[in-house]
Chains A and B, each alone.
Chain A
Amino acid sequence: MSALLEVRGLNVVFSGFHAITDLDFTLQAGELRFLIGPNGAGKTTLIDVITGLTRPASGSVQFAGEELVGKREYRIVRAGVGRTFQTSVVFDELSVLDNLDLAAGFRRRMTGLLRRRHGISDDVASALDTIGLGDLADRPAGVLSHGQRQWLEIGMLVVQRPRLLLLDEPVAGMSRDERDRTGELMQSVAKDHTVLVVEHDMAFLRRFASTVTVLHEGRLLCEGTVAEVQADPRVQEVYLGRKERV
């Protein structure tokens, strides 16, 4: 295995506030990694930097040997990095199928863009199958429940054929059943993708995570298996006094 993503010496400052300080972070190809930490630890900021939404004060983000810092967002997507957001933002007026089709589209030529969609491409069909929304394919995405919207988002990521998926709190606000289904979906996606998941939910973490990275106040606290991380006194200290227990 080789490093797919290498973050080195990353510093992010928002008008004087140090959101991320001297962070080094490595992700191997094929990993399913969880990123946890208390509020303000810099988890989402790290994802924002990787995807080009936030510019770091210093440091580098190498993806498959390519520097991502300074690239426009859509170029990073084209390089093979896909992400979801905490609030799902599928396109309500388009059907589930059209949402997926649109997401699969940037690899298409301009001439293909000027035609109407006829039928369903293989990528889209298999994504539809994976996320289990086949019955709702022709309904507008606006009618979907919160959980279904998140699954559609994940489907929209998969059809982009990214090499790295960044999921930002995919189970926030979901019911128990929805969390379980999301976890299974995530694991099936992780079989042939590298996945980085930001998550608060500890039950979800214990059930679906293998390796975990803990951030605290913009710094890397520790890394390891779920058991190792849970046993780490520093992690316990960070979460101590909070209702959440690792």
Chain B
Amino acid sequence: MRNRAVFAVAAILLLVVAPLVLSPFRLDLLGKYLCYAIVAVGISLAWGRGGMLTLGQGVFFGLGGYAMGMHLKLQDGELPDFMSWSGVEELPLLWKPFANPVFALAMVIVLPVLVATLLGLLVFRQRVRGAYFAVLSQALAAAFVILLIGQQGLTGGTNGLTNFQFFFGLDLYEDADRRILYLVTALVLGASYLSVRQLVRSRYGQLLVAIRDGEDRVRFLGYDPALVKTVAFAVSAGLAGIAGALFVPLVGLLSPANLGIVASLELLVGVAIGGRYSLAGAVAGALLFNYAKTIFSEQWPDGWLYVQGALFVAVMVWAPRGLAGLSHQFRDALSSRRKVEVQA
């Protein structure tokens, strides 16, 4: 009951209060944070529940984002601006199907899910896990960035994709239309949160936790852990893809800097701070972390990196379950103190 009330308050704040109170500039920023929060929901599933420390969510964010960006660049029927700057005169074959909105929307989800599924089946079947999986996923992010930068004529290189005018009939230079885009993002976050929460509470969710805590034991319960983990990883990738696709019209730009190693780590740090075992904690963590980043970057640009590092270290040392886990931790501390008293 209390959870429902909190959810309702959060929904009202995001859907009603924020659009009324915030300036268009701030509302845009909040929309960007909401995108990161959608990624956080997926990370909480894969990492918090499934124990897969994925340091490469930026790849899936990027796949969804580029699929959307390519479609938006083709809406006016002209050759994308960066192509003419790089001397490309004809639309590359890879780009052509993205002119179709249905295809592009499908690819926003299909591409990241497909990559995650293939990678997951390959890697989890070989029982790669823990730090090895983390390093592998991070290397994937590095490789993806190199690929994007290397294919300048195809991807816009370091600059990425910019200058989007329209988003499915919305004019991205109109405040009223941008507000609709923001609301869509908030609704997508709500839907992602509710779906993943349902997944977490299902038998599948219990199975995932069981695999996190004892993968070998689960094997002897007759399940294939590789398959179960791949599903969670693919869902988290799909969510990152959707978030990337919303990020593109909201921010008006997508470049390798938004999805490389550093960006991927930042997606994770917010979740770690908020609490990876709690979906709501992960969402709140992503929102707060990115809000703090904006504030610090405005007030004290040089300090942000230090604050970010200090925050991360502090959480890892004093609150390994994140902010959402503090009450849990407090309860544990209390009960262990009580035990000591009883023994004495």
A binding-site residues for B, Cβ under 8 Å: 51, 72-74, 77-78, 82-83, 85, 89, 91-94, 98, 101-103, 105-108, 112-117, 156, 160
Contact = CB atoms under 8 A, between A and B. Distances in A.
Give the interface residue-count category, chain B.
20 to 34
8 contacts: A74-B222, A91-B217, A101-B203, A105-B207, A105-B223, A106-B223, A114-B198, A160-B221
User: In this complex, which of B206, B207, B219 has the most chain A Cβ atoms within 10 angstroms of its Cβ?
Assistant: B206
B209 A83 contact: no
B220 A77 contact: yes
A73 to B, nearest CB: 4
A114 B202 contact: yes
Interface string B206-244: 110110011011011111110000000000000000000
A102 B222 contact: no
Given A101-B203, A116-B201, A116-B203, A91 B224 contact: no
A112 B199 CA distance: 12
Q: Is the interface of B mostly helix, strand, loop or mixed?
A: helix
B204 interface: yes
A103 B224 contact: no
B207 A102 contact: yes
A114 B205 CA distance: 8
Contact of A114 (B203, B210, B213): B203
A115 B220 CA distance: 22
A119 to B, nearest CB: 13
A113 B220 contact: no
A113 B203 contact: yes
A85 B201 CA distance: 28
Nearest to A110: B204
A106 B221 contact: yes
Given A77-B222, A106-B221, A160-B221, A116 B202 contact: yes
Interface of B: 198-199, 201-204, 206-207, 209-210, 213-214, 216-217, 219-225
B213 A91 contact: yes
A91 B203 contact: no
B206 A89 contact: no
Nearest to B219: A73
Given A89-B214, A92-B213, A94-B210, A51 B220 contact: yes
Contacts of B216: 89
Contacts of A112: 203
B209 A91 contact: yes
A136 B221 CA distance: 22
User: In this complex, which of B207, B213, B217 has the most chain A Cβ atoms within 10 angstroms of its Cβ?
Assistant: B217
B210 A102 contact: yes
A232 to B, nearest CB: 34
User: In this complex, which of B203, B217, B224 has the most chain A Cβ atoms within 10 angstroms of its Cβ?
Assistant: B203
Nearest to B224: A74
A57 to B, nearest CB: 22
Contact of A102 (B198, B201, B206, B219): B206
B210 A113 contact: no
A117 B205 CA distance: 11
A93 B221 contact: no
Nearest to A98: B206
